[in-house]
Amino acid sequence: MSKPSYSKGLVGVIAGESAICTVGTGQGLNYRGYNVNDLAEHSTFEEVSHLLLYGHLPNKRQLEQYIRRLANFRQLSTAMRAVLEQLPGSSHPMDIMRTAASVMGSFEPEDENPNNEKQRNNQWECGDRLIAIFGPALLYWYQYHKNGTKIETRTGPNDTVAQNFVKLLLQTDNPDPNMVRAVDVSLILYAEHDFAASTFGAIVTTSTLSDVYSSVCTAIGTLRGPLHGGANEAAYRLISQFKTPDEAEQGLLKLLKEKKIVMGFGHRVYRKGDPRSPIVRDWARKLSEIINTPYAKNLYAVAERMEQVMMREKKMFTNLDFYASIVYHFCHIPTDFFTPVFVIARTSGWVSHIIEQRQDNKLMRPISIYTGPDPAKTPYVPIDKRLERSKL
């Protein structure tokens, strides 16, 4: 056996085979072969979710059925509502997402034989249920703790995930179609990205033959950090600190001088640019023009200047999270809901990978290079001989 190689952060390590997505292969970003630009322009999130989970784009009839299937799953159980009411209103919304997945796993566990398509709550149904329930659970918790209202989470039977989300968030029956479509496109762009950290987390959990809900809980915890999904929230907090483009330029130069990481820029796999970024930037610009206030135009101008400065100074490009944060802000989504929206979208990708991993499973179990005390010089110390020591 050849000597195992070491790559800090698993940079460049191939950890498996996958037929779901191309990232950094030189072919552009594709979901099951379909280019993401085409999907973002012509499809809805439901088409993409169906593509990822079921392996093919639905035809018109299948799409209508799939939209109704997800809509049917939006009613929260009594148990789910009780838990959401008990959780503190001060929780981070990502805690709500992780807890919602856990509650589903406890009250509606995955079937013993998840591959059996005929059985209820097989792995596909778990995926669909999670995609359907995340937005309603989050917004039930939000409206309950913010306004004291117990909202009905089912909207129309033909409402898409984006429509349902915006309707519940803004408590309106007639949301702005541009905002709904902007959210819908963002869900498409966030839906899948190969072995990103959260997906890999889900795969590791799956590889132990755990259940879908546990794998999704792992993924949510992994997505939360600002180097991954939490970057959209962190990016908006940074952008919104600057009142003008000039102030943004000065602030950014200062951050770079201090060698700070600027959220919403860079990527582990992409080296020349994130193909999702121009699509979401167009939506940010379009919404700023539709809103057409000095505030909205200035916010977009600040973001644009930051993009120019990072390219000029560091040859660094915006990733999806940067302009997605502006899009979400323009859609009145609270800043700490940005990463939860990412959860709703990426659940389709996570569950596709969970299903794929199960088809040809091998336990994920890497090894480390040991750097601890020399065992030959570390004799056992009986408890009454141990000195008082602080942590390592």
Report the residue number, 263 or 344, with the smaller CB distance to ligand COA.
Answer: 263
Report the residue number, 267 or 329, with the smaller CB distance to ligand COA.
Answer: 267
Active-site annotation holds for 267: yes
Both tokens assigned to 163: 């429509």
Both tokens assigned to 301: 């101008």
**How far apart, in whole angstroms, are the C-alpha atoms of residue 126 and residue 30?**
24
Active-site annotation holds for 336: no
- 267, 274, 329, 353: which is the annotated catalytic residue? 267
Give the nearest distance from C-beta 339 to ligand COA in angstroms.
11
Report the residue number, 133 or 309, with the smaller CB distance to ligand COA.
Answer: 309
Give the DSSP H or E segment for 136: helix 123-147
Report the residue number, 100 or 202, with the smaller CB distance to ligand COA.
Answer: 202
DSSP assignment, residue 318? B
For residue 92, what are the contacts with CB-CB under 8 A and spacing of at least 6?
224, 336
- 194, 321, 329, 353: which is the annotated catalytic residue? 321
Report the residue number, 184 or 321, with the smaller CB distance to ligand COA.
Answer: 321
Give the nearest distance from C-beta 269 to ligand COA in angstroms.
8
**How far apart, in whole angstroms, are the C-alpha atoms of residue 326 and residue 68?**
30
E-only strand ranges, the chain:
21-22, 30-31, 34-35
For residue 327, what are the contacts with CB-CB under 8 A and spacing of at least 6?
182, 183, 186, 280, 283, 284, 287
Give the nearest distance from C-beta 262 to ligand COA in angstroms.
4
* Selection from 306, 305, 295 nearest residue 330 by Cα: 295
Report the residue number, 47 or 194, with the smaller CB distance to ligand COA.
Answer: 194
Task: Please give the residue ranges that form the binding site for ligand COA (CB under 6 A).
Answer: 227-228, 231, 261-268, 316, 319, 321
Give the nearest distance from C-beta 238 to ligand COA in angstroms.
10
Residue with tokens 């999670």: 130
Give the nearest distance from C-beta 259 to ligand COA in angstroms.
7
3-state SS, residue 59 = coil
For residue 130, what are the contacts with CB-CB under 8 A and spacing of at least 6?
101, 104, 212, 213, 216, 347, 351
C-alpha of 19 from chain center? 20
For residue 180, what are the contacts with CB-CB under 8 A and spacing of at least 6?
160, 162, 163, 166
**How far apart, in whole angstroms, are the C-alpha atoms of residue 320 and residue 187?**
11
* Selection from 187, 169, 68 nearest residue 128 by Cα: 68
In order, the DSSP letters of 223-235 are: HTSTTTTTHHHHH
Report the residue number, 87 or 256, with the smaller CB distance to ligand COA.
Answer: 256
**How far apart, in whole angstroms, are the C-alpha atoms of residue 60 and residue 57?**
10
Give the nearest distance from C-beta 256 to ligand COA in angstroms.
7
Question: Which amino acid, one-letter code, is at 98?
Answer: R
Give the nearest distance from C-beta 285 to ligand COA in angstroms.
20
Residue with tokens 């994130």: 274
Both tokens assigned to 64: 């209508």
Report the residue number, 201 or 266, with the smaller CB distance to ligand COA.
Answer: 266
Give the nearest distance from C-beta 322 to ligand COA in angstroms.
7
- Point out the residues that are catalytic: 267, 321
